């Protein structure tokens, strides 16, 4: 075998082994090459399996089986605090893409660090999942907590599920609506369904961890500039809002209505401090410098350049990007509205 052939076979274990069969006294070399080839195969197979598992979780809107907390198998979201967890405050993040895409659990950890709180935040949320997908296993949050804090108990839960329920359950409904009253009825129908699923999850979580404190907020107004106008409407408003003279204000009003029907309604059911329902609407506008905007108060108006949040601060139009003023603003709002009342008392 010439020098050129020898160089070629270094890149292909199977071809190298075949060539070695033509040479006497090469059994040991053949064994080494076959082991090398088998190792490469195992690595490739593992990589493909992980890729498929992650994409199944991202593409699915049901979320019931991701992490082994639902009714199908999947990949467990990484992360746990070794037992016994040394942090004074053990914080679990559970739900959808607010926890793993934007603003992410890291923004929550940052704001706790900023205020010198001895806390460990573990994320078990998965983008694309729904409250009703998770609730197929009523103990989904309990299982996530045990995985995150083996041998310990979570003190705080940032619960994020509901947005994908709303988006999927109102999409078709909104296409046929021609009035605000009809659009509200569409939101009501979707919210009643997700509310029941959320209540099931929280009931079982508190049964296992009666002293844990839960915090939740709805999505704030994202970017509505350019292609993001349709992207934001995919989340809430759909063709109903896109057909209006002022689609952005239409979506803002629906967000305000959903706040009252979901998180505010849960607050009426569950008293503080066990449950804290936060209203962060307006936080992203405030961060972007929109005059008059405050946390809890959206400024209604037509879409303009970066009218909601600045688009460069967002992922997929509706998720505050970690490390930007948008994500930091949401984390600061969580501190002001929830965390400061718990960890400093």
The CATH number that applies at residue 154 is: 3.40.50.1110
Around Cβ 61, how many Cβ atoms within 10 Å?
16
* Domain annotation covers residue 236: yes
| DSSP code, position 76 | P
Query: Are residue 54 and residue 91 in the same domain, yes or no?
Result: no
Sites in the chain below the pLDDT cut of 50:
1-31, 33-76, 303-306
Sheet containing 213-217, strands listed edge to edge, beginning at the edge strand earlier in sequence: 119-123, 89-94, 156-159, 213-217, 275-278
What dihedral do alpha carbons 317, 320, 326, 330 form, nearest 10°? Answer: 130
Give the pLDDT score at 139: 98
Angle (CA) 230-235-237 rounded to 5° is: 70
Do 162 and 311 fall within a single domain?
yes
Give residue 322's pLDDT.
98
CA-to-CA distance for 281 and 309, rounded, in angstroms?
11
Residue labelled with tokens 């063709």: 239
- For residues 234 and 183, state if they share a domain: yes
Look at residue 64 and tell me if it is in a domain. Answer: no
Residues 199 and 322 grouped into a single domain: yes
What residues make up the domain containing 37? 3-58
Asked if the structure places residue 169 within a domain, the reply is yes
Q: Domain for residue 206, yes or no?
A: yes
Q: Using alpha carbons, select from 73, 58, 206 the residue that is nearest to residue 139.
A: 206
Quote the DSSP letter at residue 102. Answer: S
CA distances from 191 to 7, 195, 266 (A): 64, 6, 11
Helices 13-20, 27-59: axis angle to 10 degrees equals 160
Classify residue 311: in a domain, yes or no: yes
SS3 238: helix
Record the tokens describing residue 299, joined without a space.
């400024």
Rounded to two decimals, the pTM is: 0.78
Q: Quick check: is 232 in a domain?
A: yes
Could you tell me if 253 and 126 lie in one domain?
yes
Name the region of 237 (left: φ>0; alpha: ψ -120 to 50; beta: rest). left
> Quick one: pLDDT at residue 53?
37
Q: Where are the alpha helices (DSSP H) in 79-179?
A: 97-100, 105-114, 131-134, 140-148, 163-175
* Beta-carbon contacts of residue 36 (< 8 Å; ≥ 6 apart): 13
DSSP 257-324: HHHHHTHHHHHHHS-TTTEEEE--TTHHHHHTT-TT-BTTBPPP----TTSSS-GGGEETTTEEPTTS
Number of H helices, E strands in the chain: 16, 7
* Pairing relationship of beta strands 314-315 and 319-320 according to DSSP bridges: antiparallel
Co-location of 261 and 317 in the same domain: yes
What pLDDT is attached to residue 74?
32
| 94 shares a domain with 53 | no
Which of these, 254, 259, 209, 199, lies nearest to 232 by C-alpha position?
Answer: 254
Contact 135/200 with Cβ under 8 angstroms? Answer: yes
Same domain, 292 and 240: yes
Looking at the structure, do residues 223 and 289 belong to the same domain, yes or no?
A: yes
Q: Which of 113, 196, 206, 208 has the alpha carbon at shortest distance from 162?
A: 196
Looking at the structure, do residues 132 and 225 belong to the same domain, yes or no? yes
Residue 65 lies in a domain: no
| 221 and 320 belong to one structural domain | yes
43 and 132 share one domain? no
Is there a domain that residue 81 lies in? Answer: no
DSSP state of 338: I
The residue behind tokens 């008392």 is 345
In the chain, the number of structural domains is 2
């Amino acid at each position: 075998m010439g020098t050129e052939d020898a160089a070629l076979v270094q890149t292909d274990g199977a071809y190298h082994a075949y060539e070695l069969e033509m040479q006497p006294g090469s059994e040991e070399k053949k064994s080494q090459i076959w082991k090398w080839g088998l190792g490469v195969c195992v690595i490739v197979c593992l990589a493909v399996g992980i890729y498929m598992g992650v994409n199944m979780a991202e593409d699915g809107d049901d979320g019931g089986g991701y992490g082994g907390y639902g009714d199908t198998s999947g990949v467990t979201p990484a992360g746990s605090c070794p037992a016994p967890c040394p942090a004074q405050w053990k914080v679990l993040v559970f739900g959808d893409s607010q926890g793993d895409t934007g603003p992410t659990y890291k923004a929550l950890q940052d704001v706790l660090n900023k205020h010198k709180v001895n806390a460990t935040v573990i994320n078990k949320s998965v983008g694309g999942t729904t409250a009703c997908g998770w609730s197929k296993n009523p103990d989904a949050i309990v299982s996530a907590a045990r995985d995150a804090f083996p041998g310990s108990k979570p003190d705080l839960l940032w619960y994020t599920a509901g947005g994908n329920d709303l988006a999927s359950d109102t999409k078709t409904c909104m296409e046929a609506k021609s009035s605000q009253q009809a659009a509200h009825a569409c939101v009501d129908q979707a919210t009643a369904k997700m509310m029941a699923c959320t209540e099931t999850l929280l009931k079982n979580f508190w049964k296992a961890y009666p002293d844990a404190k839960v915090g939740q907020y709805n999505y704030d107004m994202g970017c509505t500039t350019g292609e993001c106008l349709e992207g934001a409407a995919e989340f809430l408003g759909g063709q109903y809002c896109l057909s209006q003279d002022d689609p952005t204000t239409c979506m803002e009003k629906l967000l305000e209505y959903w706040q009252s029907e979901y998180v505010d309604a849960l607050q009426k059911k569950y008293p503080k401090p066990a449950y804290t329902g936060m209203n962060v609407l307006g936080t992203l506008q405030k961060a972007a410098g929109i005059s008059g905007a405050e946390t809890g108060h959206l400024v209604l108006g037509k879409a303009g350049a970066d009218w909601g949040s600045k688009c460069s601060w967002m992922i997929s139009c509706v998720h505050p990007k970690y490390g930007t003023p948008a994500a930091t603003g949401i984390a600061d709002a969580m501190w002001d509205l929830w965390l400061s009342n718990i960890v400093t008392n």
